[in-house]
Amino acid sequence: MSQYTEKVIQYFMQPRNVGSLEDPDGVGEVGNPRCGDVMKIYLRVRDERIEDVKFQTFGCAAAIATSSMATEMVKGKTLEEALKVTNKDVAEALGGLPPEKLHCSLLAEQGIRAAVEDYRRRQRGEAIPVGAPA
Ligand code: FES
Ligand code: FES
């Protein structure tokens, strides 16, 4: 028997919003120090609102399911609202995670934060977009 809820398995088997965006407005890349798993998240932002979001996660089932659920939860939200989505909210939306897998859901929360920060840096003209000509 799996320790995962139906929903976690669903989101792991058929993750939503997988992939990347061309010319994203913000990119976040974070790693989980506990396991070395990584997540990359891409944002398209219009008028302070997340118009589109995609992710690539190289991680365990819980990391992929939470990344997927988190992208669904922040899509359409303003940046401020998106920053309020915590890993606990994401885990709850999935019907819960086994306690030893809760830390995996931090990737999604931190990835979104990192992408929003990257977006804001770019708005201030402090960062060169990834892939921009030198
Ligand atoms: Fe492996 Fe998260 S570190 S389960
Ligand atoms: Fe690494 Fe779950 S095992 S995020």
Per residue in 9-42, pLDDT tens?
Answer: 999 999 999 999 999 999 999 998 888 999 999 9
Of 11, 12, 50, 55, the residue nearest 30 (C-alpha): 55
- Tokens representing 121 are 């840096």
Active site residue 35: yes
Residue 72: exposed, middle, or buried by beta-carbon count in 10 A (0-12, 13-18, 19+)? middle
What pLDDT, on a 0 to 100 scale, did the predictor assign at position 122?
95
Q: Which one-letter amino acid corresponds to residue 33?
A: P
Active site residue 104: yes
Q: How many residues does the chain have?
A: 134
Domain ranges of the chain: 6-122
| ipTM of the prediction greater than 0.85, yes or no | no
How do 26-31 and 49-58 pair as beta strands?
A: unpaired
Least confident among 66-75, 76-85, 118-127: 118-127
Mean pLDDT of 112-129: 89
| Helix H or strand E segment including 69 | helix 61-74
Enumerate residues lining ligand 1, CB below 6 A: 32, 34-35, 60, 101, 103-104
Residue 3 has pLDDT above 90, yes or no: no
- Tokens representing 93 are 């939306």
pTM here is: 0.89
**Residue 32 Cα: closest atom of ligand 1:** 3
Domain 6-122 class?
Answer: alpha beta
User: Of the listed 104, 107, 112, 116, which one is catalytic?
Assistant: 104
Cβ distance 116 to 25 under 8 Å? no
Mean pLDDT of 67-96: 97
User: Of the listed 6, 13, 35, 128, which one is catalytic?
Assistant: 35
